[in-house]
Structure 1
Amino acid sequence: MSDVNPLLSSLAEIPRFHAARRPKAVAISHEGRNITYGKLQDASSRVANGLRAAGIGQGDRIGVLDKNSDCFFEIWLGAAKVNAVIVPINARLAGPEIEYVINDAEIKVLFIGELFVDVIQKAGPGLKTVERVITTDNSYRQWRDKQTDDDPAVEAHADDVCLQLYTSGTTGHPKGVQLTNRNILGSLPQTLKSWGGWSSSDIALVAMPLFHIAGCGTGLICLLGGLRFVLIRDFVPAQVIKTIQTERITVTFLVPAMILALLSEPLIGKANLSCVRRIVYGASPIPLDLLKRAVTTFKDAGFIQIYGLTETTGGITVLSIDDHDRADSQLLRSCGKPIDGVDIRIVDAAGNALPVGRVGEIVCRTVKNMKGYWRRDKDTAQALRNGWFSTGDAGYLDQSGYLFIHDRVKDMIVSGGENIYPAEVESVLFGQPDVADVAVIGVPDPKWGEAVKAIVIRRNGSTVDAETIIAYARERLAGYKLPKSVEFVDVLPRNPTGKLLKRELREQYWRGYERRVN
């Protein structure tokens, strides 16, 4: 922890801090390239000067649309040095979804991988605010290296927004979650501690996509702690297992779907995994049997579970190594206790605090709570009340202060660590000419935790089949949002005001499950 400066007030100070103390230490390893902290300082300064020359200044949005790449952190820290805001765009989105995010964020400079050139070219004039597009290959490096490496040292404040991540919205459109320097830096030292004492002597694996808070957040945690981290472009289980061994990975963050994929890979049986000392997992609930298998396979690793949201800058609770070692099956169903600096309570529909053991909505108060949703004052006011953020999840606290998730207040589906709102999927499916009505729910799935299921009423005389409906959705939605199954019914349950009674729809699929999340 000696390598962490708890007084940093801006992300721009991270490369400055480490470059001054350990410039030759490797910060990022990616596809055969090693970026030292000294090089990261110089590269981010060059990016900053390039952005300034392009007219980017305080509060302007720049976008990154690519798979995982080391240049992401150069761009992010460069943006921080001119007090601009980076907007990582989900690389799994469909073309119309990407266009919506770019326009909603009012992105001026857009960095894209080669894979996405066609998508952006097709959008063309539909991109209303983009002034420049730079591809993240040699074009990016040529552009970067034309700039000077003088640090522009633009003043930035703790409450300035530095990151805008998009999360699905209940109204069918994603919302931009604005996170500030204070949100991210205000609790990172506590996070490093609660994650099992990650330090500069560790080598981390960053396997999550960088457009996800668990991906970019983990990378930034590593940089703040002075770690070297190995960034993989795509999650391929066999390659990850080899990387763990060749790079001697000691710490990582994984979602349950990744853990399942690793345990299902034949190479795992002969792999030497003794180097791994900490595995942090979260983003979706983990089946107890899967956790037990993982603990047995990674027998030298301490497991730590976290619970959090994009709006809370990631994890707000932790189920510690000691909690896992207690072999208490009931406790292992918990999300743990709040980390230092986080208050959690359970409230009823009127916002009144509920006693121990009573199920209600989980709300939290922490420096990690977002500044608000971009240009959505009404949504922000509903989510943030008197400093408390309403998570939309339902759960309860036990007598020892452990948090248990019971159900969801909102209808969100979590599949493989990705948040999916049924309203967004329903909005697309309603456009299919043969669909008269539709409800989308999450059903149990042994691999992904939950799978998207569409329950459809056909229009009169239609004989449309499931394959046709899924094919229609595939042209308009990211792959992870697609219905994995379609069921046809004659009527959908609704209340007198016309609201779908999704609890009734879910009941037949979740019967026998203790929790209504898998």
Structure 2
Amino acid sequence: MAYTFADLFEHSVDAMPDRLAMIVSGEEVTYRELDERANRLAHHFADSGFGAGDHIGIHMHNSIETMVAIIAAFKLRAVPLTVNFRYTSDELHYLYDNADLVAVVYHRGFADIIGEVLPGTPKIRHLISVPDELATGDEAVLPGSVAYEDALAAGNPERGFEERSADDHYIFYTGGTTGRPKGVVWRHEDIWRVLAGGYDFYTGEPIADEYQQSRNGVAAGQPMRWMMLPPLIHTSAMMPTFNAFFSGNTVVMLPKFEAARVWELVAEYKPQVMVITGDAMGRPLVDAFHQQSGDTSSLAILASGAALFSGAVKDSFFEVMPNLMISDSVGSSETGFGGIGFATKGLEQHGGPKVGANKFTVVVDDDNRILPPGSGGEGWLTKLGNVPVCYYNDPVKSAEIFREVDGGRAVVTGDRARIEDDGSITLLGRGNMVINTGGEKVFAEEVEAVVKAHPDVYDAIVIGVEDDRWGSRVSTVLRLRDGVDADFESIEKHTRSQLAGYKIPRAFWITSDVARTPSGKPDYGWAKNHAATTAADHRID
């Protein structure tokens, strides 16, 4: 069976060719048009000497052309690697080299920084430049680049590619919260199963065959519209996009996240589903909602993943859109989908989301033994079943996380979790972000969720700061709401009402903004550096 992303996409094209596939910046393309463009670019790659297994960098922000490049690589059995466009030249050099890129498709606004990297990455022998609506001033083009328009014009619009395999690889580079980026190597069938609809997310039942998603799309009669707000450099956008494609739905994207613009597009295009990345997008969206007056009644589902989505922000959505269904998914580039939880107004939330029991997501102890429901035990969130192969070019790290549990392949993550009496799992926080203060363990995400629930706090990152007495002191870097003066006594009282005394922040830094990664995750390195180089605005002894 052809459980590959190119085959599953082509099934939708064949079944629903005239359906609208994408809307970006006012441009609309049907499934047939998207397929033909991808065919043309894939043939250009083939004519340029590229094929199965070649690693092609996609250094682009969200656009129709980005999806054309990704699908084209899949058609050719090549491996597309979406590049974090906010990396510095040093980080890019590491990724380009570590990933063994041999070609790069880039938006012209990124030409200057790519030009800094190319002299040290001799494996790259082909460049394709793409017009960039976000570029400021004249668009730069790197020497030797082929214009995207020319590549498409010369390419064959028909298919005619070799047979693909479910064992073909797909690689996501993930930086997590610390350390160098790591390439997570997936088989196509495995990642499709756990992130792109190969299992029913709610029942856990596998999809029957390669045509079931496209059959479901035909049977639905009319496509749903899914608004994808995270960048395509992350699984939280890429996988829902392909899931939508495989079932014949329409994807609406923005080249850059702007909260006010999102609501304008909701009123214009009437999406039923919106995909976001936790508080990083949720907070500005709620704030912007109060400033708009368009018809947003089409929106029925708000789906978040990849970052903390605090209870306070969910409640803010319910206040303005009481009939909204809000889901919060657990997962990562290493695990795929780990479970889903549904929010209700006023739900008390400690740490990360709570997800229902399922046979593929478990909690294990330090000896890789699965903790049974009712034990109340805390351990490591672990994914069974369809899991990645390894980290690319990193056998040491691969051995640490990709293990055998209960006789089968498993990913033992760096996330701490607790198994509840009913078999559900509460995600506590990243194990490498545990703050050890006086021998007590404090999970940064749990404290962040409480701090951000204070009405004066707009955003926060919780860190451990070195302390002679306690080892580490729980601390926080805050952004307050506009026009609000810091009331540290009120924030302390609020946190003490919900957290044990050893968990409350003891040092506070107020900033005009809180740095986050492009996927919305807290930038803990930035927060620690800020705390180390700046005097605290308030301390609690």
**TM-score (structure 2 length as normaliser):** 0.73
Within the candidate set 335, 354, 372, 2:390 is matched to 372
1:449, distance to aligned residue in structure 2 (A): 5.1
C-alpha change, 1:300 and 1:37, in structure 2 (3 Å) is same
Which residue of 295, 299, 305 corresponds with 2:322?
299
CA distance in 1, matches of 2:232, 2:39: 21
Note the alpha carbon deviations across 1:21-60, whole angstroms, 9 max, x for none: 2111110111121111111221111111111112111111
Equivalent AA in structure 1 for residue 242 of structure 2 = L
Q: What do the CA deviations read for 1:344-385 (whole angstroms, capped 9, x no partner)?
A: 222222222334311111111031x21211011221122111
Residue 309 of structure 1 aligns with which residue?
332
Q: Secondary structure at the match of 1:164?
A: strand
Pair 125,331 (structure 1): closer, same or farther in 2 beyond 3 Å: closer
Answer yes or no: is 1:385 the counterpart of 2:385.
no
Match of 1:30 among 17, 24, 28: 24
Instruction: Choose the corresponding residue for 2:419, options 374, 389, 397.
Output: 397
Aligned to 1:427: none
| Correspondence 1:259 to 2:278 | no
Asked if 1:219 corresponds to 2:262, the answer is no
Q: Secondary structure at the match of 1:311?
A: coil
Structure 1 pair 451/334, CA: closer, same or farther in 2 (3 Å)?
closer
Shift of 1:168: 4.1
Identity %: 18
Contiguous gaps of at least 5 residues in structure 1: 1-6, 414-440, 458-465, 467-476, 490-507, 512-518
Provide the secondary structure at the position in 1 that maps to 2:427: strand
Cα distance change on mapping 1:349 and 1:153 into 2, 3 Å:
same
| Structure 2 Cα separation of the partners of residues 48 and 111 of structure 1 | 12
Assess, with a 3 A threshold, how the Cα gap between structure 1 residues 20 and 254 changes in structure 2: closer, same or farther.
Answer: same
* Higher mean displacement: 226-235 or 293-302: 293-302
Q: Of 333, 348, 357, which aligns to 1:329?
A: 348
Once residues 449 and 303 of structure 1 are traced to their aligned partners in structure 2, the CA distance between those partners, rounded to angstroms, is: 22
| 1:358 match | 377
The unaligned stretches of length 5 or more in structure 2 are 133-146, 204-215, 436-443, 453-457, 469-476, 478-516, 534-538
Which residue type is aligned with residue 150 of structure 1? E
Moved more, 158-167 or 384-393: 158-167
Secondary structure in structure 2 of the residue aligned to 1:186: helix
Pick the aligned partner of 2:104 from 93, 110, 120: 110
SS at 1:364 equivalent: strand
Distance 1:181 1:124, change over 3 A: closer
Query: Deviations 1:391-412 (Å, cap 9, x if unpaired)?
Result: 1111111121211122332238
Q: Distance in 1 between matches of 2:180 and 2:22?
A: 34
Task: Report the CA distance between 1:73 and its aligned residue.
Answer: 1.4
1:347 maps to: 364
Matches within 5 A, 1:125-144: 125-137=119-131, 139-144=147-152
User: Is the 1:192–1:225 contact (alpha carbons within 8 Å) kept by the matching residues of 2?
Assistant: no
Report if the CA contact (8 A) 1:455-1:486 is conserved.
no
- Tell whether the 8 Å contact from 1:81 to 1:152 is kept in structure 2 after alignment: no
Q: Distance in 2 between matches of 1:79 and 1:412?
A: 40
Which residue of 2 is the match for residue 166 of structure 1?
174
Q: Between Structure 1 and Structure 2, how many residues are aligned?
A: 433
Indicate if the aligned counterparts of 2:352 and 2:428 stay in contact, CA closer than 8 A. Answer: no
Cα 1:23/1:304, change in 2 over 3 Å: same
SS in 2 for 1:118: helix
TM-score by length of 1: 0.76
| Alignment check: 8 A CA contact 2:225 2:250 kept | yes
Of 146-155 and 202-211, deviating more is 146-155
Paired with 1:488 and 1:167, the residues of 2 have a C-alpha distance of 22
Shift of 1:194: 3.5
Summarize the Cα distance change of 1:454–1:116 in structure 2 as closer, same or farther, 3 Å threshold: farther
- For 2:112, give the aligned amino acid: D
Root-mean-square deviation over aligned CA pairs: 3.2
Is contact 1:46-1:147 (8 Å) kept?
A: yes
Instruction: Measure how far apart 1:226 and its partner are.
Output: 0.8
CA pair 152-401 structure 1, distance change in 2 beyond 3 A: same
Following the alignment from structure 1 to structure 2, what is the Cα–Cα distance between the partners of residues 113 and 180? 28
Deviation at 1:488, TM superposition (A): 4.7
Correspondence for 2:310: 287
Could you say which residue in structure 1 is the equivalent of 2:258? 236
Per-residue CA distance 1:207-249 (angstroms, 9 max, x = gap): 1100011011121111112101111111100000111111101
Match of 2:138 in 1: none
Match of 1:434 in 2: none
Counterpart secondary structure, 1:49: helix
Q: Measure how far apart 1:456 and its partner are.
A: 11
